[in-house]
């Protein structure tokens, strides 16, 4: 079941087409990557989901019905541009923002204290926001965003300003939120994080959907039938035995002193065909397919050097 859908969304600002017939389908209990270059239309779509602005046409669905204004209270939104009041104390501001989400003061303070201890920032409760680093301020906003346990969470570049240690901390919390039933829309330029976290993605470029689907499905559509063979034996023997049926892309040596051949399948040949040919001439130690990274897929799709758009 899809928790949230945006169907055929169009939006124009001052003769600029921000979104053109864009649809997203966010399965319940998943992390959904919303990707695209700067200016592609991601922020416009996020603003429409949060009812900050409205679409020119198209519709939003929530839990299988039309999206209603009261559903906004069931969304937690962490924007890329943070908005904390710099002169307020950390704890005072966190309490204020949490109570705006409908949690009473006593319960809010109890929950905030637990999260502050978890993120090792409890000593900052009585300090002013202006004393915080960018990463520390982001921790505060992350906590406030999730504390009312919304059905849908939207994180826009959540790791901006974080060091690797705190990035990993936040990634673990995002995965934990998903595992405990939250549905998450995750907008980022960090393709490594997409591979780590996302179950599904939509890639928007120049206001239009370029790709949509599950990460494994899209990766499979972009694979190029390239394999790495780690083996013991003579490279010349392997090359001769492949006999022109496969393209030898490169030769290298592993950390264990074995040879590694990167090979591309010829048309009509399978991985099993390649492996059978290889073991007739050398001793194969490992055999694995080389799949494209999300970064490579992103570049190909945006550069229009792509396979057809993938849909679930």
In order along the chain (312 residues), what is the average pLDDT of each group of 10 residues? 96 93 96 91 94 95 94 91 82 92 91 93 91 87 94 92 89 95 92 92 94 93 93 90 83 86 90 92 94 92 60 44
Q: Give start and end residues of each alpha helix (H) in 119-190.
A: 134-146, 164-179
- Structural domain boundaries in the chain: 2-220, 224-290
pLDDT at 189: 84
Q: Which CATH class name applies to 2-220?
A: alpha beta
What totals of helices (H) and strands (E) does the chain contain, helices first? Answer: 10, 14
How many of the other CB atoms lie within 10 Å of CB of 95? 18
CA of residue 190 relative to chain centroid, distance: 8
pLDDT at 308: 44
pLDDT at 309: 47
CB 301, CB 211: distance < 8 Å: yes
pLDDT at 82: 65
pLDDT at 192: 87
- Is the pTM for the entire model greater than 0.75? yes
pLDDT at 292: 93
Q: How far apart are CA 219 and CA 221, in angstroms?
A: 5
Q: Look up the CATH number of domain 224-290.
A: 3.30.70
CA dist list (Å): 301 to 18, 33, 305: 19, 15, 6
How many of the other CB atoms lie within 10 Å of CB of 58? 17
pLDDT at 312: 43
Helix-strand-coil split of the chain, %, nearest 5: 35, 30, 30
pLDDT at 32: 97
pLDDT at 190: 84
Sorted by sequence, the CB contacts under 8 Å of residue 14 that are 6+ apart come out as none
Tokens, residue 121: 């920032």
CA of residue 64 relative to chain centroid, distance: 24
Task: Please report where in the chains the tokens 């390649």 appear, as a residue.
Answer: 274
């Amino acid at each position: 079941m899809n928790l949230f859908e945006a169907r055929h969304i169009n939006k124009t600002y001052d003769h600029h087409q921000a979104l053109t017939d864009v649809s997203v389908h966010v399965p319940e209990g998943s992390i959904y990557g919303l990707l695209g270059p700067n200016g592609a239309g991601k922020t416009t779509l996020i603003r429409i989901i949060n009812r900050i602005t409205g679409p020119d046409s198209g519709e939003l669905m929530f839990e299988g019905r039309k999206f209603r204004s009261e559903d906004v209270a069931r969304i937690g939104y962490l924007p890329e541009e943070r908005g904390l009041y710099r002169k307020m104390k950390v704890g005072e501001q966190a309490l204020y923002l949490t109570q705006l989400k409908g949690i009473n003061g006593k319960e809010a303070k109890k929950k905030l204290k637990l999260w502050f201890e978890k993120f090792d920032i409890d000593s900052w409760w009585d300090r002013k926001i202006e004393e915080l680093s960018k990463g520390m301020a982001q921790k505060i906003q992350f906590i406030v965003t999730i504390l009312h346990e919304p059905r849908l969470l939207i994180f826009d570049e959540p790791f901006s300003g974080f060091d690797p240690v705190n990035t990993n901390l936040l990634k673990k919390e995002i995965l934990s939120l998903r595992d405990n039933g939250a549905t998450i829309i995750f907008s980022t330029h960090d393709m490594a994080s997409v591979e780590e976290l996302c179950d599904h993605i939509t890639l928007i470029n120049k206001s239009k959907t370029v790709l949509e689907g599950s990460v494994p499905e899209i990766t499979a559509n972009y694979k190029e039938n390239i394999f790495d063979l780690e083996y013991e034996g003579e490279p010349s023997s392997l090359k001769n035995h492949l006999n022109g049926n496969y393209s030898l892309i490169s030769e290298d040596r592993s950390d264990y002193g074995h040879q590694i051949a990167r090979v591309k399948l010829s048309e009509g040949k399978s991985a099993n065909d390649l492996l059978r040919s290889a073991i007739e001439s050398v001793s194969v130690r490992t055999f694995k397919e080389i799949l494209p990274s999300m970064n490579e897929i992103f570049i190909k799709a945006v550069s229009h050097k792509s396979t057809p758009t993938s849909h679930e």
